[in-house]
Structure 1
């Protein structure tokens, strides 16, 4: 009876040895996974992190860009502001500001031609009236002075028209000249009218020039 028992023991040991050397089960190998899968997973995580960082930087730039542009505009405005403020228009000494003109009132009475020459020496010309509103203001100014003044308007006998010193023809809808239209006639302004008188008569005059930039 010893032989069968010995055989059974050997058979049992052989069977257990075969079981211990068998390959791992498919379920355990699938759980562990190949090594390249783990590397790919890590790389994917790193790429996702970099992508999120890039989007964060881009959003921050887009938010800050309008603020940078506003600051740039404000700086430009601050740079140009002193230049605008430094551009001041004023009249020379002894001249009167009237709209966009500087006016000089003569203190002496002379013929029209001498008044014209005096204005020229001052870098100006005899007064030119632009419209009815300016005419009204000048008439009020004349009333305050209590005088009448030669202006830059003369009758041209050859053309039978009144002409301003800049060569333009008088617009009779703007103002009407009372008195005679004849050779050697020049226009004067008073507080009530614009009238014709001899260019040889002695009267005060008004010169005009544009405002000076300082």
Structure 2
């Protein structure tokens, strides 16, 4: 009995020792795992910081390039537009057509270039367009309410340069305004279906067709 007891005790001691060794190994592996997780988290944080720095530098580079390129592009575009009917006056750009269209078609042509039919805001602007000898639509109409003339941006007519006796509605549906080449190059009301030249205006350099 004593011998069997000693054998059992020895087996128990060995198993206890193995258990302790396994527990120690487990604890070491857990510690190593936690260390690796910490390293991974630190590397992830560093990567994200580097990515953020890279993104910021990329944005700064693009902003600098834009500042350098935009003035050059604007000059190039304006020079190109000068050969395609565009002229600059004050803070606006003007397109003087060579063809003839009705008022609605003329406005559509302007809008496709990011512009609109001309809005005249000053005597200086009126004098400027008088230099160009074309019979042209401007962005003025009373088609919405007879006798209430408005510009294409919805603003009311305040400064007028009508030809003497105009607008007179001499013919039915004379709801659109043209700038004449006769009678001191002032305005006349015409049927919107009449075909004439046109003048587009944009406050930024528009893309030419």
What is the Cα-based RMSD across aligned positions, in Å?
A: 2.7
Q: What are the ranges of 5 or more consecutive residues in structure 1 without an aligned counterpart? A: 1-82
Please state if 1:156 is matched with 2:143: yes
8 Å contact from structure 1 (residues 96, 102) kept in 2: yes
Which residue, out of 172, 190, 207, partners 1:197?
A: 190
8 Å contact from structure 2 (residues 146, 175) kept in 1: no
Q: What are the ranges of 5 or more consecutive residues in structure 2 without an aligned counterpart? A: 1-66
CA shift in 2, pair 1:180/1:196, >3 Å = same
Distance 2:179 2:93 in 1: 17
| Bigger Rg, which one | 1
Which residue, out of 110, 116, 125, partners 1:119?
A: 110
Distance 2:203 2:144 in 1: 30
8 Å contact from structure 1 (residues 127, 152) kept in 2: yes
CA shift in 2, pair 1:212/1:205, >3 Å = closer
Distance 1:205 1:112 in 2: 8
Which residue in 1 is equivalent to 2:200? 207
How many residue pairs get matched?
Answer: 127
8 Å contact from structure 2 (residues 174, 189) kept in 1: no
> As a proportion of its length, which structure holds more strand?
1
Distance 1:159 1:188 in 2: 17
CA shift in 2, pair 1:202/1:190, >3 Å = same
Distance 1:120 1:164 in 2: 14
Task: Find runs of 4+ consecutive structure 1 residues off by over 6 angstroms.
Answer: none
Please state if 1:175 is matched with 2:165: no
Question: What TM-score, normalized by structure 2, do the two folds share?
Answer: 0.53
**TM-fit CA distance, 1:190:** 2.3
Q: Secondary structure at the match of 1:161?
A: coil
8 Å contact from structure 1 (residues 101, 210) kept in 2: yes
